[in-house]
Structure 1
Amino acid sequence: MTTITQTKQAVQPLLARHSDLALVGRYLILTPVRHFVRGVFIDRSINQHAFVPTLSVCLTFDGDTEQGIGWGDRFTYRSFEDADPDLVDKRKNDPRFGVWDIRYPENIELMLRFTEAALQSLRAMVTFEQMMEFARRYENNLTPFEFMYYPRLLMAAATGDFETARYIVGKREGLRQSFEVHYPAFCPALLSEDRAALAKCLHDLEAKTIKNLKFTKFWEPTPFPLEMDGG
C-alpha cells in the first residue's frame, strides 16, 4: 500500500504550482477551509504501488473524527467532460488511466493533471447552495442523498431551513435521541428557532471537526447562513 510520505512526494508539483492547495494526510484540499472542505482524497489501494484519487467534498461541522470521502467519486468513474480535450481523450484511451502506479512517473504526472482538472471544478464552489447541488448529484453518492439524514439535518439547520430540519428530527427518532445525549441544546434551539443558540451548537461542532481532522491551520471561521438571514 502507498504511504502518506509517498502521497506527499507525488503531489509536490501541485503544491508548488497552486498556493491555495494544502495536503493534510492523504487529503489534498483547497484553502481556506470554511463550512465544507473541497479536494481530492488520495487513498491507498490493494495494489501496494498505486493511489486511488477521489473527488471529495465534506462538511466541517459534523463532528467527524477521521478523514473520509464525503461526497464525490473515484476518477475512474468520472467523465471529466469539463476538462480539456486532451484529458478527455486520455480518459477514454490511455490504458493506464485509473491505475496510478508510482513506479511509472508519467502515470503519476497524468494523475496530477486529472487532479488539477478535478480541483478546478471545485474552486467555484463557495456557497452552501453550490455544495448541496454537488451533494445531491447521484454520481457523488454511494448512499442516495435523501437517505443521508444526519448531514441533511445539519445543512438544513445551518442554512436556516427550519422546516426541513424539524421534519428530519421528527422522523428520525434515533437521530433526535443522539442529539439529546451529545448536543442537548440543539433540538430545543431548533424547535424554538433560536438562531443564536443553534449557531453556537454548529460552531462548537465545527471547531471539534476542524481539530479532529487537523484543519486548524487552514480554517477560516465564518458565520453560518442562518446567522445572516434574519438573525
Structure 2
Amino acid sequence: MSQPHIQDALIEAIDEQALPRLRSVTSIEDYFAFVSGHTFRHKLFDWPDVKIIVDVARGDLAAARALRDANIDRWRDNPAHDDESRARYRRVRQLCARLDADDRPGLAALLHEWEAITVRNLKIERLWEPTPFPLELEA
C-alpha cells in the first residue's frame, strides 16, 4: 500500500476486471454458474443447508426435497449444536415446513425476508434491487 499510485492501480483493476464480471451476473442462474467455477464452490454445492435454499430460490423443489430427505435428521434441534448451528438449522426447518406444505408463496416470502436481513446486515441497502426469485416466476 505504500507504493505510489497503488490506489489508482486498484481502482483501475476493479473497473476493468472485477466490475465487468460482476455486472454480467444478472440472474440467479448466472450467479449459480459463476459460483460453480469459483475456488470456494464447495460452500454452496457441498453444504446441504445452503444448497437447499438455492434450490428453492431457483424453483427446483424436487432437488430441495431430496436434500431435505437426506439431511432432515441432521437439521433437528440438538443441544450438542452450537448456537450458530441451531439458528441455521432452525431456519432450514422453517424452509422445510413450507416445502412440505408445497407453500410456494410462503417459501418466497421466507427467502425475501432472509434476503432483506442479509442486505441490512451487510449495509448494502442502497445497492439492493429486490427481484422475484425463479420460484415465483414459475408459479
Give the TM-score normalised by the residue count of structure 2. Answer: 0.77
Identity of aligned residues (%): 28
Partner of 2:120: 211
* Alignment length (residue pairs): 128
Matched, 1:127 2:36: no
Distance 1:107 1:218 in 2: 26
Tell me by how many angstroms 1:184 deviates.
Answer: 5.2
Greater mean alpha carbon deviation, residues 181-190 or residues 147-156: 181-190
Which residue of 147, 152, 169 corresponds with 2:68?
Answer: 169
More helix by share: 2
Could you state the TM-score of these two structures normalised by the residue count of structure 1? 0.49
Runs (4+) off by over 4 Å: 176-180
Amino acid at match of 2:115: E
Contact 1:185 1:197 in 2 (8 A): no
Q: Indicate the structure (1 or 2) with the bigger Cα radius of gyration.
A: 1
Displacement after TM superposition at 1:183 (Å): 6.2
Distance 1:142 1:153, change over 3 A: closer
The answer for the alignment partner of 1:69 in structure 2 is none
Letter in structure 2 aligned against 1:148: W
Runs of 5+ unmatched residues, structure 2: 78-85
Alignment correspondent of 1:41: none
CA RMSD, Structure 1 to Structure 2 (Å): 2.3
- Which of the pair is proportionally richer in strand? 1
Once the two structures are superposed, residues 140-168 of structure 1 have per-residue CA deviations (whole angstroms, 9 ceiling, x without a partner) of 31746431323211110011101111112
Residues 153 and 165, structure 1, Cα contact 8 Å, conserved in 2: yes
Unaligned runs of 5+ in 1: 1-100
The structural deviation recorded for 1:125 is 0.7
